[in-house]
Amino acid sequence: MERTASPPSKDLIARTRPFAAQDTARSVGALVSTYAALAGAVALAVAAPWWPLRIVGGLVEALVLIRCFILFHDAMHGALLPKSRWAKVLFQVQGLLTLTPARIWNDTHNHHHANTARIAADSAGTFVTWTTEQWRKATGAQRLGYVVERHPVTLMLGYFTAFLYSLCLQPFVKNPKRYWTSGLALGVHVALSAAVWHFFGLGVYLCAFLGPLVVAYALGTYLFYAQHNFDDVAILPEAAWNHADAALEASSYMRFGPVMEWFTGNIGYHHVHHLNPRIPFYRLPEAMAAIPELQGPHVTTLTLKDVVGCLRLNLWDPSLKRMVRYRDARLAHGA
């Protein structure tokens, strides 16, 4: 699709504001249907008489957990039931139960939105992206840390690396007074894990608790990574950075079918979300369809080709204005 030249940032953002008006009935309906789907999937994973059905239930549970997270994510942005006290309490509790305490999530995720595609920004709330120059100047230990953070195994183990560690254990240890909810979430999670195993057995623990969390957080971590790490992403120096360009040039549109759009809460419309995070997830397609500048996005998918291609992009080369592999940086500069 042909790309349309971007208008001034403020003008484009202003044209998205009508879509930030939520429909309360639609928001409540999404919440009820999502939690009902989660309850059904958990019941199947726990009580199905045939173990393959339990595995299916666990996989469906993992997908619904991603949608649950998107509801939480929208609520933290003020895009879902922002004036509802009961919804605020509900999402605070969900955050604790799903290893995304609201305080640390808001601190890191708001930083991510304010600094997407900035070369000079620190990596809080996102995966760090180095330039080839930074790679050349880094020590061996620094390079190892960078490789480990962006390694496919790190993404695959997102349950441990991104959620248990980065959102719970690390912030609580560094600043227990501010991030006491991270410690609480960790403690509650350990207690729930032990209780499920003790009272329901190892099979239920694996099919309905640990397995779905591992799968959901692996996919969720990859989605977060991939939607800002693609072949024609633009990483911008400070002087050239603006919010609209960062949204449109450094956030992808991940194309899904209708089933996966439901499970992922339209998070594939990531360029629209980054342009205006107060748009409810269910209005993101509407905004894209109405605004021409949003209709020529950088497109990616979950096909094997796109996933492998994404995972091979490691460093930003300012001279080429594209992401390159580690070996390309070494060959180009003799490092």
pLDDT tens digits, one per residue of 227-272: 999 988 988 877 788 888 889 999 999 999 999 999 999 999 999 9
Q: Which of 42, 34, 166, 28 is nearest to 100 (CA)?
A: 166
Rg of the chain over Cα atoms, rounded to whole angstroms, equals 20
* For residue 335, pLDDT beyond 50: no
226-227-231-233 Cα dihedral, nearest 10 degrees: -140
* For residue 119, pLDDT beyond 80: no
- Environment class of 330 (CB within 10 Å of its CB; exposed 0-12, middle 13-18, buried 19+): middle
Tokens of 103: 């305080």
Q: What is the pTM of this model?
A: 0.92
* For residue 333, pLDDT beyond 70: no
pLDDT of residue 2: 43
* For residue 8, pLDDT beyond 70: no
